[in-house]
Chains A and B, each alone.
Chain A
Amino acid sequence: MPLALLGYALAVMLTVLAATPVSAQTDGLELAVKATYLYKLAPFVSWPASAFASPTAPLVICVQGAGPFGQILDRAVSGQAVGSHPVTIKRLARVDADSGCHIAYLAGGPGQSPAQALQAMEGLPVLTVTDEARGPAKGMVHLLLARGKVRFSVDAQQAEAGGVVISSKLLALAVAVKR
């Protein structure tokens, strides 16, 4: 059965060819997932009405410090909206109460560590997102890797203090919830 043999050989070749770039981009894939998670969190979060200037005011995702996403995040949120709020990206070295963020990814950098940034944002209606890969500081949502997948834990106390309500659906999906 030369045809079957040929088909088998072809399949093996293709598998080899495809496997090589996947393993090379593992880190990139993880980043891309994290980038989409940033805006995908938004529908499961409620901000106080005062957080938006108008019903169509943009929902601002801030990336503090040495953000790792580059153009990945921009591509991911491009044209996206949460409710009536278009999603925009802000890149900042430092964040504070006047930064105008709704979601803040605290990567940490030379000017402000994730912990410092967290402190600066404490009690504000801003969903703070920290990353296990960026340090031990834990915001309201802390991204982590579990069984090879990007997952998260939730700190409901912080969120409550900041006036941010996190959907129970999200809480159900979290690997850990601090209440």
Chain B
Amino acid sequence: MTPRPQWGQPGRRLVNVAWASAVALLAIGALLAGRTELSYRSQAQRQAEVQADILAASVSAALAFDDSTAMREYLDALRVNRRLAAAAIYDAAGEAVVVFHRPGAAPPPAHIEVLSSRFSHRHVTVTRPVAQQGQRLGAVYLETLPEPWTSVLGRHSSLALLTVLAFLLLGVVTAAASQLQARARLLAEANDRLRQEMAARSAAEEALRQSQKMEALGQLTGGIAHDFNNLLQVVQGAFELIRRKADDTARVGTWAQNGIAAAERGASLTRQLLAFSRSQKLELRPFVVADLIGEMRELLVRTLGPDIKLSVELQEGRAMVMSDRTQLELAVLNLAINARDAMPAGGGLTIRTRLRSVPPGDPMLAAGEYVELSVADTGQGMSREVAERAFDPFFTTKGVGKGTGLGLSQVYGVARQAGGAAQIDSELGRGTVVRLMLLRSSAAADVAPGPGEPPPILAPAAGRTVLVVDDEAPVRALAAETLELLGYRVLQADSGAAALALLEREVPDLMLFDYAMPDMNGAELAGLVRARLPDVPIVFASGHADTAAVEAALGGQATILRKPFNMETLARIIAERLS
């Protein structure tokens, strides 16, 4: 479980900000109130001073000439000011001459020493000099009534308002923050739930993938077993016939041919599997597509059966492509089988080749000349969903044991490796067209052996010695017999150690190593042998699926003979390496 995020953080920050704002607001309010208070006080003081000054100016003559009646009159005139609490006039010696105070108010001091002006306890007390032309005559004293509380409150209403507002703000923000926190908590819980659900779903998907893999594996093994059983049936049948009627040389030849053909189809099947697993190195050679289709025609007719009419339209002339001939054959065969299965009640299959020019900017293909090979049937077609997945490996609509799900995937792989692409046009009830776009090649075509020709046995290099190292006795014996049949002298060893011991005594002209052997594999053996016999060519035989790994172990220049191999291939490669 990941650490839970700090959902409360933004809310708390908000509250802090609100608190700071409220405090700032209050501080500003207090400042403003202080200023207001100060200005009010100085103003009140100033007012009292002005009034005292007026009184002082008025009473100067009366004070100078000791006219207490006049002074009393002046003081009495001040009574109309309701804010005045007390007033007095002092002579030059500071003694009170005339005094007035309202009932309830304290009487003014009888004697004053110094002049003063102050604001205290909500009232102003001010003493001002009485002078005429610089001649100090005495002083006047004024005291105001305390300012009523209502007036003070009125003056500070703004502060009160600010305080109320600040607390209101705080309240609102705190409430909002707590609400936010509650929502954040809910969100966090929802998030946790979501995480759990995602984890559960992820686990479920993993389980589903696993079961799909198992299902695919089941389909694959089922399909392969079915195909292999058929092939083995043919091979076994052929050998049994040969054993029983070994004297009938003419028919033995035919049965042997059937057996060989079945074995070759088995080899094709494993090649198909390996090509699918992308470990099989394709043998890309230039050839004419029209030739290939022409040669396959008979096979296709037999595969499709009597109810399906095959028509072939070859329009591309002699255009060549660079591809693996066997793979392309397989692809066409796969397509024909699919078409046949799609037309249980019969129909028509059209194989067409033509030249296509792809302009620059095509989303699928690089610009250039292509040979389009299309296989069209008049079958039941397929739905959009099926068509979209048709090229996926292991995807099949056939029952278990009926197909591997690799056919169309192999078709797609062939097209890609020939520098092109494959596409399906299909609709339910409207048949299916599969198009392979193969990049046109300008290379010179290999001369293909004519159909039905007996395999040419290459001229044996008489007297040359070949060392065969293989841990599997039947395979080793077969290779040895084949090589002897071709005219070579053969040495045999069943392990790397035995081979090394044998090489102490005799040096062959060529060595054929099996790759996968216990204790010491072909690559290791080759490493040891090359140090001593650098000039003796080595050919590796491998049935290993991972050709790339074999190549990497042997170095790029190694010659690899893929199992199963036929006599012709073995003869050709041995002859090439010896020449």
B135 and A82 contact, CB distance less than 8 A: yes
B70 and A83 contact, CB distance less than 8 A: no
Whether A80 touches B61, Cβ cut-off 8 Å, given contacts A173-B67, A173-B70, is: no
Q: How far is the CB of B282 from chain A (nearest CB, A)?
A: 129
> Of the candidates B64, B66, B70, which one forms a contact with A44 in the assembled complex, judged by CB atoms under 8 Å apart?
B64
A42 and B133 contact, CB distance less than 8 A: yes
The A-contacting residues of B in range 107-158, CB under 8 angstroms, are 132-135
Candidate in B65, B132, B133 with the most chain A CB atoms within 10 angstroms? B65
Q: Is A66 an interface residue (CB 8 A)?
A: no
Q: How far is the CB of A57 from chain B (nearest CB, A)?
A: 15
Q: Could you say which of A107-115, A120-128, A132-140, A164-172 contacts chain B? A: A164-172
Using an 8 Å CB-CB cutoff, how does the interface string of A63-97 with B read, 1 for contact, 0 for none?
00000000000000000111110000000000000
Q: How far is the CB of B63 from chain A (nearest CB, A)?
A: 10
CA distance A44 to B58 in the complex (A): 12
B65 — which chain A residues lie within 8 A by C-beta? Answer: 37, 40, 151-152, 173
**Nearest-neighbor residue (CB-CB) of B60 within chain A:** A169
**Nearest-neighbor residue (CB-CB) of A149 within chain B:** B66
B61 and A82 contact, CB distance less than 8 A: no
Using an 8 Å CB-CB cutoff, how does the interface string of B24-65 with A read, 1 for contact, 0 for none?
000000000000000000000000000000000010111011
CA distance A37 to B63 in the complex (A): 11
Q: Is A156 an interface residue (CB 8 A)?
A: no
CA distance A82 to B133 in the complex (A): 6
**Nearest-neighbor residue (CB-CB) of B57 within chain A:** A169
B58 — which chain A residues lie within 8 A by C-beta? Answer: 169
**Nearest-neighbor residue (CB-CB) of A172 within chain B:** B61
B133 and A173 contact, CB distance less than 8 A: no
A37 — which chain B residues lie within 8 A by C-beta? Answer: 65
CA distance A152 to B66 in the complex (A): 12
Q: How far is the CB of A160 from chain B (nearest CB, A)?
A: 19
**Nearest-neighbor residue (CB-CB) of A147 within chain B:** B69
CA distance A121 to B67 in the complex (A): 29
CA distance A11 to B300 in the complex (A): 162
A43 and B70 contact, CB distance less than 8 A: no
CA distance A43 to B136 in the complex (A): 10
B132 and A43 contact, CB distance less than 8 A: yes
Q: How far is the CB of B366 from chain A (nearest CB, A)?
A: 116
B61 and A173 contact, CB distance less than 8 A: yes
CA distance A33 to B384 in the complex (A): 135
CA distance A165 to B64 in the complex (A): 18
Q: How far is the CB of A49 from chain B (nearest CB, A)?
A: 15
B134 and A170 contact, CB distance less than 8 A: no
Q: How far is the CB of B464 from chain A (nearest CB, A)?
A: 151
CA distance A84 to B134 in the complex (A): 8
Q: How far is the CB of A153 from chain B (nearest CB, A)?
A: 13
Q: How far is the CB of A40 from chain B (nearest CB, A)?
A: 5
> Of the candidates A81, A149, A169, A172, which one forms a contact with B134 in the assembled complex, judged by CB atoms under 8 Å apart?
A81
B61 and A170 contact, CB distance less than 8 A: yes
CA distance A11 to B64 in the complex (A): 33
A149 — which chain B residues lie within 8 A by C-beta? Answer: 66
CA distance A149 to B67 in the complex (A): 9
Q: How far is the CB of A47 from chain B (nearest CB, A)?
A: 11
CA distance A84 to B64 in the complex (A): 19
The B-contacting residues of A in range 35-52, CB under 8 angstroms, are 37, 40, 42-44
A152 — which chain B residues lie within 8 A by C-beta? Answer: 65
A151 — which chain B residues lie within 8 A by C-beta? Answer: 65, 67
Given A82-B134, A169-B58, A173-B67, 6 additional A-B pairs, CB 8 A: A43-B132, A44-B132, A81-B134, A152-B65, A167-B61, A173-B62
Which residues in A have some Cβ–Cβ distance to B below 8 Å? Answer: 33, 37, 40, 42-44, 80-84, 149, 151-152, 167, 169-170, 172-173
A-B contact list, 27 entries, CB within 8 Å: A37-B65, A40-B64, A40-B135, A42-B133, A42-B135, A43-B133, A43-B134, A43-B135, A44-B61, A44-B64, A44-B132, A80-B135, A81-B135, A82-B134, A83-B133, A84-B134, A149-B66, A152-B65, A167-B61, A169-B58, A169-B60, A169-B132, A172-B61, A173-B62, A173-B65, A173-B67, A173-B70
Which residues in B have some Cβ–Cβ distance to A below 8 Å? Answer: 58, 60-62, 64-67, 70, 132-135
The 10 closest A-B pairs by CB, nearest first: A43-B132, A169-B61, A43-B133, A40-B64, A173-B61, A43-B135, A83-B133, A83-B134, A170-B61, A173-B67
